[in-house]
């Protein structure tokens, strides 16, 4: 009896378990179907927008650590070459990535975190070494053997050229300390920074300290000393990302400065030549106007060329400047007595540079407008000269038509006399052939009497012909 009850209970439990598994499978299938249906009902761009929203994450930075950041300028055609460098780093970290280039990648092992990002104008390599051993500084070229800077020991120029994407425009190294184990910020002064011009602030409401000297050191890196008192790796990572953005976009904005100097010189030369041409326009004769118009067209082409070479660069610099200003606000920096603030140091040079770029853009626009006005003025003078020439031509044509009319009238008079002469001669010859007995008077008397009537008839006939021709011209 007890055995039968146990078997019944076991069968009941099995049935209950089977029903539960069936319910779980059914619920899972319903959830997958719901996701599939919701995915089909979403706008096709929503996934792309959501991916962009979560793109370019900041790294976690648990102190103590060293972070290095390299930025290389590149165009769209260099994507595959950059991706080859990323694949080499991935192999060193024990990861395998595909051959198709992507926009970003984050890899991690027990020693380092590696992040690669590709932007419109540049690509960046960021590596963070966790708890580095004492005396070790460089990460690229040592911890990661891909020597993107070409500075590690034993690296030949040929091998370095094979691995490099190009010369880095930004090279940063961050030393992140913890308050419990201060390695680099334990002293008031540090040998890692030059003592001439050190910038130091507190950030994140006083929970972090930042020191830098904005100087290239012998290894080619700019150095930042960071002490994070929050003991929050995510907060420290976001702080590093803000500093990276500030230095990266500050440098990219100031890249336009050599372009600005060259554009300023070119616009200055165009202005000088335009001033001389405008002075010549006032006293230019008809023979000089074609030459002046050709030179103005050449100046307009040169001004447009300068604008085409600088407009994008200056617009990008203004966009980068706005990013720098935004990241500086996010730092919530506070002044440390005896040191200059980070935002003050950056704004002291970056702000005037951006305003200089805008001034050059305004000058380019003003120069183009002045060239357009000078061209309009010269065209107006040419039009006036053409109008005067047309008036002279019409007056000359009028004089010629009047002379032609007088000649025509003279010819008509001569034609009347000639036709009348021939008609009188014919009449005379006809009268001579008639015997005198048939004529009441002498033939010469008849000819003399008929001559005026013949002349009058010929004149009336010529006049009628001319009138008919004139009426025909009016109707046509």
283 preceded by cis ω (within 30°)? no
Delimit the domains of the chain by residue range.
Answer: 2-41, 57-244, 256-392, 404-475
User: What is the pLDDT at residue 242?
Assistant: 94
Residue 231: per-residue pLDDT: 81
pLDDT for 20: 44
For residue 261, give both structure tokens. 């100097």
Architecture per CATH, 256-392: Up-down Bundle (1.20)
pLDDT, tens digit only, all 476 positions of the chain: 444 445 545 555 444 444 443 444 445 555 555 544 445 567 777 777 776 677 777 888 888 889 999 998 876 446 777 788 788 888 888 888 877 767 888 888 888 899 988 888 888 899 998 888 776 677 776 667 665 655 444 444 334 333 444 678 899 999 998 887 777 776 555 678 876 788 889 998 888 999 998 888 888 889 999 988 888 889 999 999 999 999 999 999 999 999 999 999 999 999 999 988 888 887 777 777 788 888 888 999 999 999 888 899 999 999 999 999 999 999 999 998 888 899 999 999 899 999 999 999 999 999 999 988 888 888 887 787 788 888 888 888 888 888 887 777 777 777 878 888 888 888 888 877 777 777 777 777 778 888 888 888 888 887 787 777 777 666 66
Task: Give the per-residue pLDDT at 327.
Answer: 93
pTM, two decimals, is 0.70
Q: What is the pLDDT of residue 14?
A: 46
Give the pLDDT score at 158: 37
Q: What is the pLDDT of residue 475?
A: 65
SS3 per-residue string spanning the chain: CHHHHHHHHHHHHHHHHHHHHHHHHHHHHHHHHHHHHHHHHCCCCHHHHHHHHCCCCCCCCCCCEEEEEEEEECCHHHHHHHHHHHHHHHHHCCCCCCCCCCCEEEEECCCEEEEEEECCCEEEEEEEEECCCCCCCCCECCCECCCCCCCCCCCCHHHHHHHCCCCCCEEEEEEEECCCCCCCCCCCCCCCCCCCCCEEEEECCCCEEEEECCCCCCCCCEEEEEEECCCCHHHHHHHHHHHHHHHHHHHHHHCHHHHHHHHHHHHHHHHHHHHHHHHHHHHCCHHHHHHHHHHHHHHHHHHHHHHHHHHHHHHHHHHHHHHHHHHHHHHCCEECCCCECHHHHHHHHHHHHHHHHHHHHHHHHHHHHHHHHHHHHHHHHHHHHHHHHHHHHHHHHHHHHHHHHHHHHHHHHHHHHHHHHHHHHHHHHHHHCCCHHHCCCCHHHHHHHHHHHHHHHHHHHHHHHHHHHHHHHHHC
Say what the pLDDT of residue 40 is: 55
């Amino acid at each position: 009896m007890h055995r039968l009850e146990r078997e019944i209970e076991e069968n009941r439990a099995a049935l209950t378990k089977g029903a539960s598994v069936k319910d779980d499978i059914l619920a899972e299938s319903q959830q997958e179907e719901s996701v599939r249906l919701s995915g089909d009902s979403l706008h096709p761009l929503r996934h792309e927008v959501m991916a962009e929203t979560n793109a370019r994450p900041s790294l976690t930075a648990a102190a103590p650590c060293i972070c290095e950041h390299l930025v290389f300028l590149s165009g769209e055609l260099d994507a595959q070459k950059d991706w080859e460098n990323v694949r080499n780093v991935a192999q060193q970290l024990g990861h395998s990535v595909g051959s198709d280039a992507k926009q970003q990648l984050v890899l991690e092992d027990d020693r380092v975190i590696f992040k690669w990002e590709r932007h419109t104008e540049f690509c960046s390599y960021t590596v963070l070494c966790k708890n580095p051993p004492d005396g070790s500084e460089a990460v690229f070229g040592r911890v990661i053997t891909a020597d993107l800077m070409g500075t590690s020991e034993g690296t030949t120029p040929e091998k370095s050229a094979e691995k490099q994407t190009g010369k880095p425009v930004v090279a940063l190294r961050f030393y992140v300390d913890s308050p419990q184990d201060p390695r680099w910020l334990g002293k008031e002064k540090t040998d890692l920074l030059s003592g001439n011009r050190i910038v130091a602030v507190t950030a994140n409401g006083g929970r972090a300290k930042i020191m830098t000297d904005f100087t290239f050191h012998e290894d080619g890196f700019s150095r930042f000393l960071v002490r994070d008192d929050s003991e929050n790796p995510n907060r420290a990572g976001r702080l590093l990302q803000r500093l990276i953005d500030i230095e990266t976009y500050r440098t990219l904005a100031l890249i336009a400065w050599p372009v600005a100097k060259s554009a300023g010189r070119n616009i200055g030369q165009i202005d000088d030549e335009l001033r001389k041409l405008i002075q010549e326009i006032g006293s230019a004769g008809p023979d000089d106007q074609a030459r002046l118009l050709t030179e103005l067209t050449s100046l307009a082409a040169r001004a447009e060329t300068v604008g085409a070479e600088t407009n994008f660069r200056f617009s990008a610099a203004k966009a980068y400047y706005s990013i720098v200003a935004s990241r500086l606000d996010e730092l919530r920096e506070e002044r440390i007595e005896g040191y200059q603030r980070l935002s003050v140091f950056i704004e002291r040079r970056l702000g005037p540079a951006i305003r200089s770029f805008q001034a050059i853009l305004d000058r380019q626009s003003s120069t183009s407008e002045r060239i357009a006005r000078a061209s309009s003025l010269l065209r107006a003078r040419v039009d006036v000269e053409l109008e005067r020439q047309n008036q002279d031509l019409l007056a000359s044509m009028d004089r010629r038509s009047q002379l032609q009319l007088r000649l025509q009238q003279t010819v008509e008079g001569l034609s009347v006399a000639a036709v009348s002469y021939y008609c009188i001669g014919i009449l005379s010859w006809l009268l001579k052939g008639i015997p005198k007995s048939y004529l009441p008077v002498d033939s010469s008397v008849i000819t003399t009497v008929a001559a005026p009537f013949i002349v009058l008839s010929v004149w009336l006939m010529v006049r009628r012909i001319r009138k008919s021709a004139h009426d025909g011209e009016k109707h046509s």
